[in-house]
Amino acid sequence: MNKEDILKAINKARESSKKRNFNQTFDLVINLQQLNLKKPEENINTFIVLPQGKGKKSKICALVDKELASQAKEICDKAILKDEFTKYTDKKKLRKLAQEYDYFIAQANLMVDVAKFFGKVFGPKGKMPNPKAGCIVPPKIDLKIIYNKLQKTVRLQTKNEQAVKCSVGTEDMKDEQVQENILVVYNALVHSLPKEAHNIKNALLKLTMGSPIIIGAKEEEKKEVKEEKPKEEAKKEPKKEEKEEPKKPKKEGKKEK
């Protein structure tokens, strides 16, 4: 993947989407191949810091104790203290919380309690505080550094399909900024794959309401047309050939004496 191809895809993505009354997101989809997702080592689950940021704010909730309480209340979008964990026993309330926030920071010595109260809902939704993203922190730390880093962090994860997706910017960002983000994501992904670039089938870019553009596609490959398979006619069983019974010879009439 080169810079020129990325810039062309960004321009085409802009052209393919009408102007909307909201700031659309550039979404990157990288289709993979030759992976066995049943093997843990061939699954992708990584966090990448975008050098130019995502172009939009991530909402962050902190699950902390008194050591980080004042920082969390000042810096994060929401702070839930250890004494308040018991208020979150209702699954409906937990699902709403998981949906409202992009990342959850947790104090390391509270992880047992975090798993007990939040894990049953956060786990399946992929919202548990993740050490790979730097979301599990010691009782003494500058939360501002973690908060700012998460504002630029995206997650690449293969779930049930050989593909990863993430946001790489917004339409109000400069083309060069979106380009740099895409290149960083692509290169980081390549180095995390067992066969590196050989595991990548193609990469597509689109705005929220726009059409997907294949990055680096040739003119004749821009549109992939899937031909419908003709309906198979019901197979008729061949009629069994009726065996002709041998004709019995006619009895000749008795000759008159």
Q: Point out the domain boundary residue: 220, 236, 251.
A: 220
- Residues 11 and 36 placed together within one structural domain of the fold: yes
Residue 10: pLDDT band by 50, 70, 90 thresholds? very high
Please determine, for residue 257, whether its predicted confidence score (pLDDT) is greater than 70.
no
- Residues 40 and 89 placed together within one structural domain of the fold: no
CATH number of the structural domain spanning residue 142: 3.40.50.790
Q: Does residue 83 sit within a domain?
A: yes
Q: Does residue 253 sit within a domain?
A: no
For residue 58, the one-letter residue type is S
DSSP state at residue 199: G
- Residues 84 and 210 placed together within one structural domain of the fold: no
Q: Does residue 243 sit within a domain?
A: no
For residue 191, the one-letter residue type is H
Percent of the chain residues past pLDDT 90, beyond the cut = 75
- Residues 128 and 90 placed together within one structural domain of the fold: yes
Closest CA to 28 of 217, 151, 218, 178: 178
Closest CA to 118 of 159, 62, 66: 62
Q: Point out the domain boundary residue: 125, 150, 175.
A: 150
DSSP state at residue 240: P
Q: Point out the domain boundary residue: 150, 175, 190.
A: 150
- Residues 203 and 119 placed together within one structural domain of the fold: no
Q: Does residue 241 sit within a domain?
A: no
- Residues 198 and 75 placed together within one structural domain of the fold: no
> Could you give the CA distance from residue 158 to residue 37 in angstroms, rounded to a whole number?
8
- Residues 176 and 68 placed together within one structural domain of the fold: no
Q: Which residue segment(s) compose the domain that 23 sits in? A: 1-55+153-220
- Total domain count, the chain: 2
Please give the mean pLDDT across all residues of the chain.
87
Closest CA to 136 of 98, 101, 105: 105
Least confident of 93-102, 128-137, 212-221: 212-221
Residue 246: pLDDT band by 50, 70, 90 thresholds? low
- Residues 139 and 79 placed together within one structural domain of the fold: yes
- Residues 88 and 158 placed together within one structural domain of the fold: no
CATH number of the structural domain spanning residue 32: 3.30.190.20
For residue 169, the one-letter residue type is G
- Residues 190 and 63 placed together within one structural domain of the fold: no
> Could you give the CA distance from residue 73 to residue 105 in angstroms, rounded to a whole number?
12
The pLDDT tens digits of the residues spanning 59-90 come to 999 999 999 999 999 999 999 999 999 999 89
User: Are the C-beta atoms of residues 205 and 9 closer than 8 Å to each other?
Assistant: yes
Angle formed by the axes of helices 111-122 and 91-100, nearest 10°: 90
- Residues 183 and 132 placed together within one structural domain of the fold: no
Q: What is the pTM (predicted TM-score) of this model?
A: 0.79
- Residues 168 and 200 placed together within one structural domain of the fold: yes
Strand partners, 39: none
| Dihedrals phi, psi of 95, to nearest 5 degrees | -65, -40
